[in-house]
Amino acid sequence: MPDNKFDRFINFSSISDKKKRTEIANTIYKQLQKKQSYSAVLTNENTDNFAAAIENILSNKVMQELCIKDSSLAEHITRDILDFMNKTKKQILITENPFENEQNLLENFKQINKDSYEETWETTASFIKENYKQIDVDSYNEEFIKSISLENDPKNFDIVKELFTEKWEGYLFQEKLKWELRIIDEQRKIFCEELYEKIEQLKKLQELLEPFTGELGRLWDMSKGRWQKVNFDILKEYAELLERDKPLQELAEMLGRMHQAEREYEKEIFADLIIKPDWKVEHASKAELVGIHESDDISSMLPAEAALLADENTELLFYKKFTEKKLQTFEYQAKILSWEEEEILKNCQKVKEETKGPFIICVDTSASMDGPSETVAKTLCFALLKKAVRDNRKCYLISFSTAIETLNLTDLKNNLEKLIDFLSMSFNGGTDASPAMIEALRMLDKEDYKKADIIMVSDCVMPDFDEQTKKQIIAAKENKTKFHSLEIGNSGNKKITENFDNNWVYDSNNKDCVLQLIRDINGIS
């Protein structure tokens, strides 16, 4: 994690060392993810008295579990803790200091001498007796009087004064520290109450929307007020409906895979390294007799050549043959196993990496969808939302009856309430699918939705699209956009389903095969 990640948040307290401030921020972040045990960095001295508060905040087990799985969430919470430290320190600085009068009294007493001792001691002694029982005021008074009587040793008075004021300062420092820690702890309780409430709400969302395990950081900035508006009951209801309805789960998974059906390939050249064994001959080594040849190797010469050397008449002939390397000698040969590397270039077809396209969901919210059809439509939308988040795909919802309403489900942090409103609404009104399809086609022109899959969920009890819309659908298909429909019931207008690449029927009466693929141009089942 870069050192400057928390720069905006680490200008807290009187810690002037930027390196130390950054170290504290990174230590909090790492401890949230359990990547570091409690560090010596987080001491009162290093954190300007926030050590106990930080340790207490970080002790929440649920928060640690979530942060271990989501580094983005750990980063958000680290910033919140640093922000809490900043605000609390400012609160301490603007709060009326209850020790101001005592500090002035102490500073004035530091300035006294032998002559002014008597006129200040009574006030000082009275204050000390009332506030610091542990300081023996009478003993110090005796020491002061004794030092005053020693006229030849004026330094003795200053020594007694220094001992007295140092003890006083020590107790004053402890009282100031207690006061400051009390404020920090009060602010910590307020901070933790809000922090842990958000953590619990986030935990509920994680359980209801499983794919958000790695996306919790995106939802963290929702304010406390907005968390309170989240209807977790409706989310839980549709999570349970989806869990029971396996066919809808399968359809959502199938729609997620459709975009992968048409794969693009590219040629890739790669080097294949082959290692082969190779026997190499070493002629200088004696291992195996393979024949006779001419050389000057006396140790390998034939007995006949040695006979030439034994006779004075042929001795010169021997030397001549030796000089010319023409002695008849045995030929030996040794073979050693070695390994050779050979690089072979090969061509292969590689699947092109392609980001999965977004979902554009058109949902029929007309009166004819009221009842079980409405539940099916909402549950499928819930399933597709989970799929989109899990695969990091954008998701855009268009609900239609006589008019249309749109909802960008990609920005869930700002639209969670609207999603809950959609799941809670009652379907009514007439049916006109053309405006919804026109809006979906319009979204295809946007950069983020160029490769979107369009899904329509309806009972299809509606008129067919107009000719202009049909032409736009054909043009979008040529640009590799896929159109899918889920017909709820089996009494819809077959003309309208002909506009889609893939059509499914949801038949609640057929328990053995609730989802039935009735037409699939691409042959995907």
- Phi and psi (nearest 5°) for 516? -130, 120
pLDDT, tens only, 421-451: 777 777 777 878 888 899 999 998 888 888 7
Spatial CA neighbour of 28 closest among 8, 12, 6: 6
The stretches of 425-484 forming alpha helices (DSSP H) are 434-443, 467-478
**CA–CA dist 423, 68 (Å, integer):** 31
Cβ contact 231:238 at 8 Å: no
Q: What's the confidence (pLDDT) of residue 394?
A: 83
**CA 265, 270, 275, 280 torsion-angle sign:** positive
Structure tokens at 524: 């995907």
Residue 148: CB atoms within 10 Å = 17
Q: What's the confidence (pLDDT) of residue 503?
A: 85
Q: What's the confidence (pLDDT) of residue 104?
A: 92
Structure tokens at 8: 């905006």
Q: Which residues of the chain have pLDDT under 50?
A: 1-3, 9, 212-214, 223-225, 227, 260-265, 353, 511-525
Amino acid letter, residue 146: K
Cβ contact 333:271 at 8 Å: no
313 DSSP 8-state letter: T
